[in-house]
Amino acid sequence: MAFKKLAEIAEISEKKGLPMWKVVQEDDCTEQSITCEESYTKMKEILSAMRDADKKYNPELVSKSGMAGGDGMKVEQFNVAGSALVGDFISSVIEKAVKMGESNACMRRIVAAPTAGACGVIPAVLLSYQEKKNVSEEKIIEALYLAAGIGEVLAECASIAGAEGGCQAEIGSAAAMASGALTYLEGGDNEAILNAVALCIKSMLGLTCDPVAGLVEVPCIKRNAYGGVNAVVSAHLAMAGVKSRIPVDEVIDSMGRIGHLIPSCLRETGEEGLAITQTAQDFCDKQMKEL
């Protein structure tokens, strides 16, 4: 993808009179030398894989480490019982995000969006939206194109890898992608979409990557749920007319700089943070004895 700035996609969108998602799709076709129909089919397959992973969640599966599995069902039962502290949409986002993260930990088929560790955010937001709002398949696919464009700019100008930029680069990027996509689905214009992305990233700057035992389980799975909620809150603010005082591309640049400033011990190395708590160390010792 040739885009270096989100503002660039928005500018082309305005100049050509096309929605931002279509600008992203056309660029994808040029880059891969494929037709719009072929590109669309691939994106439809991605959405299908997300939906399949959601529907085939198995609460009886437990990850090899024993740290993940079954929590998604707990959230579902809590929601079904009418105990939810928030509305149906947010409740669904939380539930699906946890389920998807657990499926990843249990080696089920998921979609890296943009990474495996952040696989739950975008599906949780978009699938929940489609279920609650009854929007068409085509509209969700368009939103996925927009999310992909946002992700490409983040990867180019900041990072989507926890080892390079901390968890802000993984869950933060996924949340920003989902927020922009959700704002589009809600009928937001280009300005609202960019504001949603900026607001979302700003609230997750500096998030460290400190997985216990180097596994994408603790705290990663639950962070998917928080990322999904963050995406919804950011879209909500943007649709209400709230604007980011810092332009989105400057926010993304800041994200990149912060990622490089985060100490290496807090970038997926397992040398600090939650990874070296007593409980985490006891778990690692237990795992070593079982080998």
Asked whether residue 1 carries a pLDDT value surpassing 80, the answer given is no
Asked whether residue 214 carries a pLDDT value surpassing 80, the answer given is yes
Give the whole-angstrom CA distance, residue 47 versus residue 115: 15
pLDDT 10s digits, 30-62: 999 999 999 999 999 999 999 999 999 999 999
pLDDT at 289: 86
Give the whole-angstrom CA distance, residue 269 versus residue 257: 19
Please name each of the domains of the chain with its CATH number: 6-58+65-290 (1.10.4100)
Asked whether residue 68 carries a pLDDT value surpassing 80, the answer given is yes
**CA dihedral sign of residues 133, 239, 94, 284:** positive
Asked whether residue 288 carries a pLDDT value surpassing 90, the answer given is no
Q: Output 289 or 112, whichever has higher pLDDT.
A: 112
Q: What is the mean pLDDT of residues 190-202?
A: 98
Asked whether residue 245 carries a pLDDT value surpassing 90, the answer given is yes
Residue with tokens 């589009």: 184
Residue 278 banded pLDDT, cuts 50, 70, 90? very high
Instruction: List beta partners, residue 209.
Output: 267
pLDDT 10s digits, 106-128: 999 999 999 999 999 999 999 99
Q: What is the mean pLDDT of residues 200-229?
A: 98
Mean of per-residue pLDDT scores for the chain: 97
Contact present, 172 and 227 (Cβ < 8 Å): yes
Phi, psi at 100, each rounded to 5°: -65, -40
Asked whether residue 26 carries a pLDDT value surpassing 90, the answer given is yes
Residue 241 banded pLDDT, cuts 50, 70, 90? very high
Q: What is the mean pLDDT of residues 232-251?
A: 98
Q: At what angle do helices 137-157 and 171-185 cross, to 10 degrees?
A: 140
Q: What is the mean pLDDT of residues 159-178?
A: 98
Q: What is the 3-state secondary structure (H, E, C) of the chain?
A: CCCCCHHHHHHHHHHHCCCHHHHHHHHHHHHHCCCHHHHHHHHHHHHHHHHHHHHCCCCCCCCCCCCCCCHHHHHHHHHHCCCCCCCHHHHHHHHHHHHHHHHHHCCCCCCCCCCCCCCCHHHHHHHHHHHHHCCCHHHHHHHHHHHHHHHHHHHHHCCCCHHHHCHHHCHHHHHHHHHHHHHHHCCCCHHHHHHHHHHHHHCCCCCCECCHHHCCCCCHHHHHHHHHHHHHHHHHHHHCCCCCCCCHHHHHHHHHHHHHHCCHHHECCCCCHHHHCHHHHHHHHHHHHHC
Predicted structure pTM score: 0.97
Asked whether residue 85 carries a pLDDT value surpassing 80, the answer given is yes
Asked whether residue 169 carries a pLDDT value surpassing 70, the answer given is yes
Percent of the chain with pLDDT over 90: 97
pLDDT 10s digits, 170-183: 999 999 999 999 99
Percent of the chain with pLDDT over 70: 99
